[in-house]
Amino acid sequence: MQQKQGLGKALAERLVSKGAKVILGDIDRNDGLRLASELNHGKGNEVAFFVPCDVTKYDQQAALFDAAFKHFGGVDIIVNNAGIAESTPLWEDDKGIWKKVIDIDLSAVIEGTRLGIQALKKQGREGVIINTASLAGLYPQARTPAYSAAKFGVIGFTRSFKDFDSSIRINAVAPSFAPTKIIESMRENVAKIELVSVEMVTDAFMLLIEDDSCSGDVARITPKYGINVLGKATGGDKDKKKKAKL
């Protein structure tokens, strides 16, 4: 799980509260170690392990899976959650920040999904992969075109797995902006936008993880309409068997 301040932390806490064990990956070593320590506090056995990870370096992504096998015996749930957004208008971006946005927000998600499928097939057991997209991947954002392009890519990529494999489900969350670290670089763009809560986005993650009718699906999260799996009735089928057992 590539941990992003806010969404990644909240999801890790929710998963651990349900009995899961988590591998945390983050480029910020101090934040990652702190969260792992918090999650392990008071537990009889280790439930969280941190691995420093720059998601643009694919060997470091692979190290997350190696750690999962070593510490917890494998993986059932993979979450590709790292992300950044541009803060400079495209025509003024002489440093090529837009390329970094694509590398982190799209290319790394594709690689994380590839590695996730590889790991699940190697294990021979069912699992689920969740990619973090954005409402900006459903509705173009004029002020952050590279970010929007990357998130459109994540949604198209995820939907391409609709009929992939009945034992491996791949879904995406597409939240409106939430009060997380990523909006610090977009403060001017989101100043007048109503934010969704981190808790609601976490609920959407859990819906896509636990509802095995969701495959190649996208959960849109907005302040007005809440959680809506596009093309499905809200809430899913709670009586269905859960593929990702926690």
* pLDDT tens by residue, 71-95: 999 999 999 999 998 888 999 999 9
The whole-number pLDDT of residue 192 equals 62
Q: Which one is catalytic: 58, 139, 147, 225?
A: 147
- 177 vs 190: CA distance, rounded Å: 8
Residues in the chain: 246
Q: What is the Cα–Cα distance from 25 to 27, expressed in whole angstroms?
A: 7
Residue 220 forms beta bridges with which residues? 174, 228
- List the structure tokens of 150: 């990357």
Query: What CA dihedral angle connects 211, 214, 215 and 220, to 10 degrees?
Result: -120
Q: Is 58 a catalytic residue?
A: no
Mean pLDDT of the chain: 89
Spell out a b/e string for 58-86, using b for 16 or more CB atoms within 10 Å of the CB, else e: eebbbbbbebbeeebeebbbbbbbbbbbb
Query: What's the pLDDT at 179?
Result: 63
Look at the alpha carbons of 174, 176, 181, 184 in this order and tell me if their dihedral is positive or negative.
positive
> Is the Cβ–Cβ distance between 78 and 112 less than 8 Å?
yes
* Regions of the chain where pLDDT drops below 70: 1-5, 179-192, 233-246
Say what the pTM is.
0.88
Question: pLDDT at position 238, please?
Answer: 42
Residues 173, 229 contacting (CB under 8 angstroms): no
pLDDT tens digits, 138-160: 999 888 999 999 999 999 999 99
Neighbours of 201 (CB within 10 A): 24
